[in-house]
């Protein structure tokens, strides 16, 4: 078991289920203390308690809508108050509001951009300030294969996820000399509640189009996050790491 993150503090958004929860568990397994961010306080509290008990680490629940700048700033402040620092920030929270462009409502455009892209800005800004002071940090932003390939019916989602890539490369350049790494993971098709909602027929078709011929597991994304958080990964920054069974080979 990797114990390399003992003494480090990690904030993970959208950590109550799916990929975010797997990331939280993996970092806890490595010994990190956690901030569990989600929209529902009860859910966050339950997940934090479960992880804390299972891995013997501290885990603090924070209810926060990542799309709300003031809430994100307050959450970051509360994290700093509790732990005195933030070593790792994982921006994982995300939503879909799929529709072909000609039927895509402005509300669904705004919701996806605000949660998936502005949410990343909202957390990176106050976290970067704290990390710059500490001269250490790891920021990992969860994008998508769709940012690299596009997907019919996901103009809003692909735009937000591609925005994360440009944002992260720029931030990586701003922070590299301060010993802060900023990287992006682009998952392919991963088995979570988000993808569970897709019709069986579409899932089968999608699976067939994946070179690995299987759907990915949340733990496979979590493992990549743990790798990027490791001390030995300090020279990796501004990169997009695809974890997608070969869906995108650029």
Q: Does 74 bind ligand NAI (CB under 6 A)?
A: no
Question: Which of 8, 10, 12, 18 forms a contact with ligand NAI (CB under 6 A)?
Answer: 18
Q: How far is the CB of 29 from ligand NAI (least distance, A)?
A: 18
Rule CB under 6 A: is residue 20 a binding residue for ligand NAI? yes
204 close to 63: Cβ distance less than 8 angstroms:
no
**Alpha-helical runs (H) found in 69-154:** 69-83, 106-112, 119-134, 145-149
Nearest residue to 33 via CA among 164, 177, 229: 229
Residue showing tokens 């695809």: 242
121 is catalytic: no
Establish if 19 lies at the interface with ligand NAI (CB under 6 A).
Answer: yes
What are the backbone angles phi and psi of residue 131, rounded to the nearest 5°?
-70, -35
142 near ligand NAI, judged by CB under 6 A: yes
Q: What are the angstrom distances between the C-alpha of 187 and each of 19, 28, 244, 246?
A: 10, 21, 5, 10
38 touches ligand NAI by CB under 6 A:
yes
Query: Which of 81, 106, 193, 208 forms a contact with ligand NAI (CB under 6 A)?
Result: 193
Residues 111-130 touching ligand NAI, rule: CB under 6 A, are: 115
* Region near ligand NAI per CB under 6 A, out of 54-62, 93-101, 175-183, 204-212: 93-101
Task: Kindly name the residue from 83, 121, 157, 235 that is annotated as catalytic.
Answer: 157
Q: Please identify which residue in 11, 12, 28, 67 interacts with ligand NAI, judged by CB under 6 A.
A: 67
Contact positions toward ligand NAI, by CB under 6 A? 13-14, 16-20, 38-39, 64-67, 92-95, 115, 142, 144, 187, 189-190, 192-195
Q: Which residues are catalytic?
A: 157
């Amino acid at each position: 078991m990797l114990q390399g993150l003992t003494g480090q503090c990690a904030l993970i958004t959208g950590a109550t289920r799916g990929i975010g929860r797997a990331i939280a568990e993996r970092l806890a397994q490595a010994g990190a203390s956690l901030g569990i961010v989600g929209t529902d306080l009860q859910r966050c509290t339950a997940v934090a308690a479960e992880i804390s008990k299972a891995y013997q680490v501290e885990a603090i629940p924070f209810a926060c809508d990542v799309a709300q700048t003031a809430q994100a700033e307050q959450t970051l402040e509360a994290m700093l108050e509790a732990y005195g620092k933030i070593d790792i920030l994982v921006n994982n929270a995300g939503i879909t509001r799929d529709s072909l462009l000609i039927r895509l409502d402005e509300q669904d455009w705004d919701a996806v951009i605000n949660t998936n892209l502005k949410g990343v800005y909202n957390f990176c800004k106050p976290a970067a300030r704290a990390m710059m002071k500490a001269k250490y940090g790891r920021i990992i932003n969860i994008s998508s294969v769709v940012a690299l390939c596009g997907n019919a019916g996901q103009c809003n989602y692909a735009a937000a996820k591609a925005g994360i890539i440009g944002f992260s490369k720029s931030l990586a350049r701003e922070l590299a000399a301060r010993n802060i790494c900023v990287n992006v993971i682009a998952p392919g098709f991963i088995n979570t509640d988000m993808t569970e909602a897709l019709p069986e027929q579409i899932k089968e078709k999608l699976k067939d189009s994946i070179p690995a011929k299987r759907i990915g597991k949340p733990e496979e994304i979590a493992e990549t996050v743990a790798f990027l958080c490791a001390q030995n990964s300090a020279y990796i920054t501004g990169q997009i790491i695809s974890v997608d069974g070969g869906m995108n080979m650029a």
